[in-house]
A and B are shown apart, each in its own frame.
Chain A
């Protein structure tokens, strides 16, 4: 069991099918948290409840992310999200899955990106905040180069 940070391979294919809309008012993108017992990597195709984090302040499926419209710099296009906080939460997570709950076509909750936090992260009756990297061509959370 392991969580390996990666862009889902199925997402790459779906990009070519026009299945995802990251524009403002586009698809609903969510982030779900997982324990270290989860198996998530590039082969993950969709959101799963298996080994999803549970606890006070966290509901299955996670929370919706606030999208920042796609942009580009040089030859690289990228997207960004606002930092996301699970408030008054007593939870532990080792990683996360960003997925699309309203894709075009017939996909159900298709995976986008797997995040590895590098270790268990815990909040106790506090805030659990995921901070996305600087939105530029060299650091943004999801880049096409």
Chain B
């Protein structure tokens, strides 16, 4: 009689770290793209090329909108700090 085997497997997580700064929009876009689009190694070369081109287009859009989000958040931060009477700190935000 055969038995049924359930195998539990753990994948390989990676760590990336930064020193004295946060991640750039480009670095975060790459992380997002790895979650959005994955092409199997066994895929047809033409399909791989199409996916690579699409990924590059998507990357440009993600980076653009992330930069806009950062700018928009800094505008919010600037106003919060100014409203709190921290004008000097508010001005630093505009120079980053």
A residues whose Cβ falls under 8 Å from a Cβ of B: 5-7, 11-12, 82-83, 85, 87-88, 93, 96, 113-115, 117, 121-136, 139-145
Residue in B closest to A96 when the chains form the complex, CB atoms: B13
Residue in A closest to B19 when the chains form the complex, CB atoms: A124
A127 lies within 8 A of B23 (CB): yes
Given that A128-B15, A131-B15 are contacting pairs, would A144 and B6 also be in contact in the complex, using a CB cutoff of 8 Å?
yes
**Bound CA span A136–B43, Å:** 15
Given that A131-B14, A132-B13, A134-B34 are contacting pairs, would A125 and B8 also be in contact in the complex, using a CB cutoff of 8 Å?
no
B52 interfacial contact with A, CB 8 Å = no
Residues of A within 8 A of B8 (CB): 7, 11-12, 142-145
Q: How far is the CB of A70 from chain B (nearest CB, A)?
A: 13
**Bound CA span A88–B20, Å:** 8
**Bound CA span A123–B19, Å:** 6
B60 interfacial contact with A, CB 8 Å = no
Residues of B within 8 A of A5 (CB): 10
**Bound CA span A130–B16, Å:** 7
**Bound CA span A82–B31, Å:** 10
Q: How far is the CB of A19 from chain B (nearest CB, A)?
A: 14
A131 lies within 8 A of B16 (CB): yes
A140 lies within 8 A of B11 (CB): yes
Residues of A within 8 A of B17 (CB): 121-123, 126-129
**Bound CA span A24–B48, Å:** 32
B9 interfacial contact with A, CB 8 Å = yes
Within 8 A of A (CB), among B11-68: 11-23, 31, 34-35, 38
Residues of B within 8 A of A139 (CB): 11-12
**Bound CA span A131–B12, Å:** 9
Residues of B within 8 A of A117 (CB): 13-15
A126 lies within 8 A of B10 (CB): no
**Bound CA span A114–B17, Å:** 20
Residues of A within 8 A of B13 (CB): 96, 115, 117, 130-133, 141
